Amino acid sequence: MSQIIISVGREFGSGGRVIAEALAERFNIPVYDRHLITNIAEKTGLTHEEVEKYNEAPKSRLMSRRVRGFSNSIEDNIAEMQFEFIEKKAAEGESFVVVGRCSETKLKKYKGLVSIFVLGDMDAKTERIMNLYNLSKTEAKALIEKKDRKRKSYHNYHTGLHWGDSRLYDISINSTRLGIDGTVDFLEQYIKARIEKNN
Amino acid sequence: MGAAQVFAVIIFVVMFLMIVLDKIERQYVTLGCGLLTIVVVFAVCMHSGEVILDTLAFKDFATAQFWYQVTESESKGINWATIIFIAGMMVMVEGMAKAGFFRWLCLRIAYLVKCKTIPIFITFMIMSALLSMFIDSITVIMFLAAVTIELAQLLKFNPVPMILSEIFCANLGGSATMCGDPPNIIVGTSLGFSFFDFLSNTGIAAGISLVFCVFYFLLVFRKDLISKSADGDVDMSKLPKPKDAVKSKKDFIISSVIFGIAVILLVTHSMTHLTVATIGLFIALITLITAGKGAIELIKKVDYKTILFFIGLFIVVSGLEETGILVFIADFIGNISGGNAMIMTAIILWISALASAFVDNIPFAATMVPVIQSLSASTGMNLTTLAWSLSIGTDIGGSATPIGASANVVGTSVAAKNGYPIGWGKYCAKLAPATLIVLAISTVYLFVRYL
């Protein structure tokens, strides 16, 4: 099989991460998501919680500065370490699934890239988050909005492109329509077709 | 307030905000705002072609004064001398870096002190200050921080205290000379000071402060510096050899000689009457000629963004100057100080330091030069004292926060990329007090020596 890189962008609560993990299992390839946090934590000596704090987070513009490509922002440096990590894996020819990390843009030059954006209806996402984190409806909604705002700002800062804009991805899919399992089945077929075409 | 003044202020404030927000690359911000200044302020509001020509200052190149200066003179508009000098030094520094000079120097010193942690800590601080007197602090820190991390990993010590001290000393060393830090080049070329003027004034303040700082950093970092491996038995065989850093012996010798020539020309420029523009151009030319085929690569590596940033910035500041806004500010400072020299000196020093801790000190210095000129003219206060206050304030104030100066950003970034993130808390806890100490020393120095 030629190289396949599945990039999964996602709205919070849409089940994007679960979908990414299921796809990795079906294609028997690794998934880089939590792994990226562990890897950075090992390299930096930060705790997982600290890396989590800076992970996929936009930097504070007022508290940071960039000089000749160098940035004092820990968020920026962690993001760049993650971009370098996935870029290295891609350059080595490895096949993998990567969740977020602007991967649809950062890995655009690789022929084997299949970029997916998973979205969902607000009601469905809210219900999912209420169950997962044991939150009230208002709290779940607020959390979704907060997380998505953070992801959008992070993505747009590092790529200069609009997060969730369908033109950035090969396929944008609403996971509420088919449910998580149905979405995975559908995407599996699509990816198989892409692999066939690449071969 | 006339329309020209209103627009000049609006353009300046927008430029500053956009630099801080960092949404658009800063050279586009200053160039765009510079263009607006020319069109809106000078052409539309002031209808003055003469002001535009004065601001663009192309005629400076044709004057002998620009290249060979016997009497001190002050410049207006785009400070081309600063731009040519910075570009020339960039070419030289690229040549030195390519030849492996900086890495060789760092490793050589580490070997000289037998790779013992405390002596490395002290010598690297002093080296950082000395190199920054002649070379831009970004380059100094880029190499020092990288070698510090390499040594830290091999010798098992925490590199963060060392990097923080190096950053601080790079900014301190930069304040000692005319070419050490961009604000000093702007102050020096705008007001007609020489390298030696800086060395014998801000240089002495920096020298005294350096002694205090070495003790301060030893005191606050002593616990972090204790190596995990016994200092006595360092296995130096595992360490990279200085000679391995030299990529080409010929290039290394050439770049060292050129650096030596640059230092001699700078130190003696008040005697030879060669201006910094001439020195910058000459150094760049000999670097490029001796580089042969590598010249194109060196030219490509020059940081054009910074050069363009300077050009736009000088135009915007000229907008404030030509419309008389900076005289307002000068009068305001003159009034609140009640004409008291001590208060004026302290205001310039501490306000410059405070501003530089949070915003880029280059636009700040460029704006403040005409302010101190007006202040001196209206109050009779000695201009040189105000100039040293401005230089020390902008150079030293920048050390207080991770975003205050370029060296801080580069140093903390190199550390983070190698697994040693330095946040605001960790940075400010140690360097903000050091900044306050140096500012206090400088205040006393300025008061005792000049007032």
> Tens of pLDDT along A101-147?
999 999 999 999 999 999 999 999 999 999 999 999 999 999 999 99
Chain B segment 155-214 residues within 8 A of A by beta carbon are none
B428 shares contact with chain A (CB less than 8 Å):
no
User: Which residue among B138, B416, B423 sits closest to A67, beta carbon to beta carbon?
Assistant: B138
- In A, minimum Cα distance to B418 occurs at A44
Which DSSP helix (H) or strand (E) runs through A171?
strand A171-174
A68 shares contact with chain B (CB less than 8 Å):
yes
- In A, minimum Cα distance to B427 occurs at A72
Which DSSP helix (H) or strand (E) runs through B219?
helix B202-225
> Tens of pLDDT along B338-378?
889 999 999 999 999 999 998 888 888 999 999 999 999 98
> How much is the pLDDT for B73?
59
- In A, minimum Cα distance to B412 occurs at A72
CA of A54 to nearest chain B CA: how many angstroms apart?
11
CA of A59 to nearest chain B CA: how many angstroms apart?
11
B429 C-beta neighbours (distance < 10 Å), count: 12
- In A, minimum Cα distance to B407 occurs at A67
- Which amino acid type is present at position B151? L
A46 shares contact with chain B (CB less than 8 Å):
yes
A65 shares contact with chain B (CB less than 8 Å):
yes
Domain ranges across chain A: 5-198
- Options 3.40.50.300, 3.80.10.10, 3.40.50.970, 1.10.3470.10; which CATH number does A5-198 get? 3.40.50.300
- The conformation of residue B44, written as its DSSP 8-state character, comes to I
Residue B13 has pLDDT above 60, yes or no: yes
> How much is the pLDDT for B230?
47
CA of A75 to nearest chain B CA: how many angstroms apart?
10
> Tens of pLDDT along B109-154?
999 998 889 999 999 999 999 999 999 899 899 999 999 998 988 8
- Dist CA B77 CA B316 (whole Å): 9
Decide: B321 and B315 in contact? Cβ < 8 Å: no
> How much is the pLDDT for B79?
86
Concatenating the DSSP letter of every residue in B337-372 gives TTT-HHHHHHHHHHHHHHHHHHS-HHHHHHHHHHHH
Cβ distance B417 to A72 less than 8 Å, yes or no, reads: no
B350 C-beta neighbours (distance < 10 Å), count: 16
Distance in Å from the first CA to the final CA of chain B: 36
CA dist B103 to B96, B125, B153, Å?
10, 15, 16
Q: Is B214 exposed, middle or buried (0-12, 13-18, 19+ CB in 10 A)?
A: middle
Whether ipTM > 0.85 holds is: no
Which DSSP helix (H) or strand (E) runs through A180?
helix A175-198
- In A, minimum Cα distance to B420 occurs at A44
Cβ distance B416 to A61 less than 8 Å, yes or no, reads: no
CA of B185 to nearest chain A CA: how many angstroms apart?
19
Query: Hey, of A66, A70, A75, which one would you mutate to test binding to chain B, going by the most B CBs within 10 A of its CB?
Result: A70
pLDDT band, residue A159 (cuts 50/70/90): very high
- Dist CA B133 CA B351 (whole Å): 24
The residue among A43, A55, A46 whose CA lies nearest residue A100 is A55
Tokens for B3? 């329309």
- In B, minimum Cα distance to A40 occurs at B419
Cβ distance A80 to B417 less than 8 Å, yes or no, reads: yes
List of chain A residues whose C-beta atoms are within 8 Å of the C-beta of residue B409 = 65-67, 70-72
Residue B200 has pLDDT above 60, yes or no: yes
> Tens of pLDDT along A17-44?
999 999 999 999 999 887 777 777 777 6
Decide: B391 and B179 in contact? Cβ < 8 Å: no
User: Which residue among B138, B402, B420 sits closest to A68, beta carbon to beta carbon?
Assistant: B138
Decide: B82 and B189 in contact? Cβ < 8 Å: yes
Concatenating the DSSP letter of every residue in B27-42 gives HHHHHHHHHHIIIIII
Chain A segment 71-100 residues within 8 A of B by beta carbon are 71-72, 74, 77-78, 80-81
Concatenating the DSSP letter of every residue in A7-56 gives EEEE-TTTTHHHHHHHHHHHHT--EESHHHHHHHHHHH---HHHHHHHTT
Tokens for B80? 């081309």
B74 C-beta neighbours (distance < 10 Å), count: 12
- In B, minimum Cα distance to A64 occurs at B403
- In A, minimum Cα distance to B414 occurs at A70
Cβ distance B412 to A66 less than 8 Å, yes or no, reads: no
Tell me the longest C-alpha to C-alpha distance in chain B: 75
Which DSSP helix (H) or strand (E) runs through B123?
helix B117-132
- Dist CA B422 CA A50 (whole Å): 12
Between A and B, how many CB-CB pairs are < 8 A?
62
Residues of chain B with pLDDT > 70, as a percent, come to 96
> How much is the pLDDT for B228?
56
Tokens for B97? 């870096």
Cβ distance B403 to A65 less than 8 Å, yes or no, reads: yes
Residue B1 has pLDDT above 90, yes or no: no
CA of B355 to nearest chain A CA: how many angstroms apart?
14
User: Which residue among B23, B305, B409 sits closest to A72, beta carbon to beta carbon?
Assistant: B409
Give the range with max mean pLDDT: A47-51, A101-105, B224-228: A101-105
For chain A, the C-alpha Rg in angstroms (whole number) is 17
> Tens of pLDDT along B380-416?
999 999 999 999 999 999 999 999 999 999 999 999 8
A159 shares contact with chain B (CB less than 8 Å):
no
Residue B421 has pLDDT above 70, yes or no: yes
CA B175 to chain centre: 7
> Tens of pLDDT along A52-86?
777 777 777 778 888 888 888 888 888 888 898 89
Cβ distance B22 to A67 less than 8 Å, yes or no, reads: no
CA dihedral B181, B184, B185, B186 (to 10 degrees): 120
